[in-house]
Structure 1
Amino acid sequence: MTTSSATVIKKLILFFLVFAGLYYGQVFFMPLVIGGILATLFLPYCNWMEKHKIPKGLAVFLCLFTLALFISGLIALLSWKISDVVNDITLLKEKAIDTVDYIQKYIFNHFNISIEEQYKILKEEKPSYTSMMKMALSSLATILTNLILVTAYFLFLLYYRSHIKQFILKLTAISEQKAMELILHKIANVSQQYLVGLSKMIACLWIMYYAGFSFIGLENAFFFAILCGFLEIIPFVGNITGTALTILIAAMHGGNLALLGGIVLTYGIVQFIQGWLLEPLMLGPQVKINPLFTVIALVLGELLWGIPGIILAIPLTAMLKIICDHVESLKAYGFLIGEIEVKGSKNFSFIKKIKRFVGIH
């Protein structure tokens, strides 16, 4: 066996070991990663407070208070608008009953299974209320445990950030400490850039979706605008899911073809503006992962950690790209993951002009 073949085999074994560790250790790693990414988002705010003579412990607590306030406000906003949608629950129930009746008749006509037999099959397959209650309580306990862990990691990672940084630098050879410090700085920055940029982009999407949905006369336009914009945290899949739900609910409320076509047209216009203007301006090249590896990252994230894995996939891949870009032996992988910028293209020149105009470097 040649040396190059042995190296490739070692890298493959390491790759599978890392993913096996992430999969089987998700109970430990997932809250830690979420807490760490949220902590990097609040680093500038925490540093600013400490520079203004606010004690470190109080500054960290104020960061947690700000995060809790933001999440509570978002939940309150969604709950307020969801109540408007729930008011039409009777209509949705009637539509659901009609759909179930149609399915039952279809099964009877094509498979000769009577409605009584269908109910009997469903009754046998349906889990008991006790088991459903146990599943619900188990899920609630898991959510509460993860919430407590994320909060704890958020607080302690912010408080001990300098200590952890010094530990990492002590593990690094003296000749490479400056390079490692640069990598740590860029990893923190890329996380901040992604989360802040994504927040700005979602806010812009809310405005555009609301304007479009209001213009075509969609009921509860504000709620659906919030839904479609918020699901943008899941690239590709999220915005399609939000639009599909909007079309489905509008159709169940008796929306005509013109209204449904208007929803699709609004989605297309918003996606065009997002892809060609908002993403290049707000996310920037450092967090731009090419579409192929975006999809791969999302699939692997879902396989490893489910829905939280999908949400965390892009910022973690962007951090991985930063590491690859600054480690000589991994630069080829950073190039492979990253988006290609064609400097001679009209789109590139257009974006550069807009960035200069608004003062983005």
Structure 2
Amino acid sequence: MPHLSSAIRLLLLFILSVIVLYFSSSVLIPLTFGGVLAMLLMPASRWLESKGLNRGLSSFVSLLAFTLFIVALILLLRWQIGDLLKDFSKLQEQLGKLLEQVKDYVRSEFGITSRQQQQILKEQQSGGMEKAAGVAMGTIFTTLSMLVSTILVLVYVFLFLYFRAHFKNFVLRLVSATNMPIAEKVMQKASRVTQQYLSGLGMMIVMLWIMYGIGFSIVGIKGAIFFAILCGILEIVPFAGNITGTSVTVLIAFAQGGSMDMVVGVLITYAIVQFTQTYLLEPLVVGNQVNINPLFTILIIVVGEAIWGIAGMVLAIPLLGMFKVVCDHVEPLKPYGYLIGTQSAKEDKSIFKKLFGGGGDD
């Protein structure tokens, strides 16, 4: 009965946490992004402090360098989009031809005539002016909301970096004197896990840019750099991101009038890059920092998307990694840390082990 009672309390705590996370998303998402990015920038801030800068200036410089990198990336994407828009009329023409081919296929396979298809489209587009106005207003509000959230995230990052010692001391005051060493160890390890995961993910994305850029250039995709950067950035969203980026690239290859050889080339590039990423880049660059069971990796991404949308998918893995660190050091939670973790934190990650090794204990 005591075990049943503790399980019920844990279940109720989980349900309550999900409710709070869902209804407080507008507040918690920017705050969480700020905390995670502050952990990423903490080594740079400490390095600047070791060079003689005070904490406020080192925090500001670290944040400024990160912001300038993001702005440079956006400008590069904008430049690439500008080149693509120069041939927008040709792109529209190719998309029109592709749409006609789709209509012909629907007519031949399902017996729906072109007139019937047109009627269906007209019915769906009824009240077009009102819908267009609604979409325009929604776009404006979404853009303003993103701008406000971005500013909030930057402010949170600076404040987390500047007051990190204050927050650390606050956590230590919550535990007893005997548990202070464990609490300090948990905070250091959780921060280190997040730093290693995010920095490794960043390095892997840069490598993906290079590989996709080379592959798409060889295939002949116009704007290869843009689509390489797009596919790499979407890697931030696990599983769904790279498939989405490649699907968009395939569609654009069709729209650019590319032959089937070009489309096959895009798919071959995707397959080669994914193989390299899975069996070389992830083990060598990202490594096994979060040490999470693949089942719970997928599960936490699905739960994150259900609660916080795309932001939840991005934040899911680092947050679960930090939660696992807590579970591994708190005695009542150790079974849960074992459950969501892999069988061995030191398992061989070489390509030969992955390809030809066994699957572990039964």
TM superposition score normalised by structure 1: 0.89
Alpha carbons of structure 1 residues 6 and 220: separation in structure 2 relative to 1, 3 Å: same
2:127 aligned counterpart, secondary structure: helix
Aligned counterpart, 2:315: 312
- Tell me whether 1:327 sits opposite 2:337 in the alignment: no
Aligned counterpart, 2:276: 273
Shift of 1:115: 4.0
Shift of 1:88: 2.5
Shift of 1:307: 1.2
Shift of 1:345: 5.8
Aligned counterpart, 2:226: 223
Aligned counterpart, 2:25: 26
Aligned counterpart, 1:89: 88
Aligned counterpart, 2:357: none
Q: Do 1:343 and 1:349's aligned partners in 2 also have CA atoms closer than 8 Å? A: no
Q: Do 1:231 and 1:238's aligned partners in 2 also have CA atoms closer than 8 Å? A: yes
Q: Describe the superposition over 1:295-330 as per-residue Cα deviations: whole angstroms up to 9, x where unpaired.
A: 111111111111111111111111111111212222
- Tell me whether 1:249 sits opposite 2:252 in the alignment: yes
After TM superposition, list the pairs within 5 Å mapping 1:59-74 onto structure 2.
59-74=58-73
Q: Say which is worse superposed, 296-305 or 326-335, in terms of deviation.
A: 326-335
Q: Describe the superposition over 1:276-312 as per-residue Cα deviations: whole angstroms up to 9, x where unpaired.
A: 1111112222224232112111111111111111111
CA distance in 1, matches of 2:161, 2:309: 26
CA distance in 2, matches of 1:117, 1:31: 41
CA distance in 1, matches of 2:293, 2:13: 24
Q: Do 1:297 and 1:314's aligned partners in 2 also have CA atoms closer than 8 Å? A: yes
Aligned counterpart, 2:35: 36
Aligned counterpart, 1:8: 7
CA distance in 1, matches of 2:181, 2:345: 31
Shift of 1:131: 2.6
Q: Do 1:104 and 1:115's aligned partners in 2 also have CA atoms closer than 8 Å? A: no
Alpha carbons of structure 1 residues 63 and 130: separation in structure 2 relative to 1, 3 Å: same
Letter in 2 for 1:72: V
CA distance in 2, matches of 1:14, 1:114: 51
After TM superposition, list the pairs within 5 Å mapping 1:326-345 onto structure 2.
326-341=329-344
Shift of 1:21: 0.6
Q: Do 1:285 and 1:339's aligned partners in 2 also have CA atoms closer than 8 Å? A: no
Alpha carbons of structure 1 residues 281 and 115: separation in structure 2 relative to 1, 3 Å: closer
Question: What number of residue pairs does the alignment pair up?
Answer: 350
Aligned counterpart, 1:300: 303
Alpha carbons of structure 1 residues 180 and 349: separation in structure 2 relative to 1, 3 Å: farther
Shift of 1:172: 0.7
Q: Say which is worse superposed, 82-91 or 202-211, in terms of deviation.
A: 82-91
Q: Do 2:98 and 2:254's aligned partners in 1 also have CA atoms closer than 8 Å? A: no
- Tell me whether 1:49 sits opposite 2:48 in the alignment: yes
Aligned counterpart, 1:358: none
CA distance in 2, matches of 1:22, 1:344: 34
Shift of 1:339: 3.0
- Tell me whether 1:168 sits opposite 2:168 in the alignment: no
Alpha carbons of structure 1 residues 315 and 240: separation in structure 2 relative to 1, 3 Å: same
Q: Say which is worse superposed, 172-181 or 331-340, in terms of deviation.
A: 331-340
Gaps spanning 5+ residues in structure 1: where?
352-361
CA distance in 1, matches of 2:64, 2:309: 28
- Tell me whether 1:203 sits opposite 2:202 in the alignment: no
Alpha carbons of structure 1 residues 21 and 118: separation in structure 2 relative to 1, 3 Å: closer
CA distance in 2, matches of 1:227, 1:55: 37
Alpha carbons of structure 1 residues 46 and 114: separation in structure 2 relative to 1, 3 Å: closer
CA distance in 2, matches of 1:126, 1:55: 56
Percent identity, aligned pairs only, is 41
Aligned counterpart, 2:112: 110
Q: Do 2:206 and 2:232's aligned partners in 1 also have CA atoms closer than 8 Å? A: yes
Q: Say which is worse superposed, 171-180 or 312-321, in terms of deviation.
A: 312-321
Letter in 1 for 2:40: L
1:53 aligned counterpart, secondary structure: coil
CA distance in 2, matches of 1:162, 1:117: 62
CA distance in 1, matches of 2:155, 2:349: 48
Aligned counterpart, 1:132: 135
2:130 aligned counterpart, secondary structure: coil
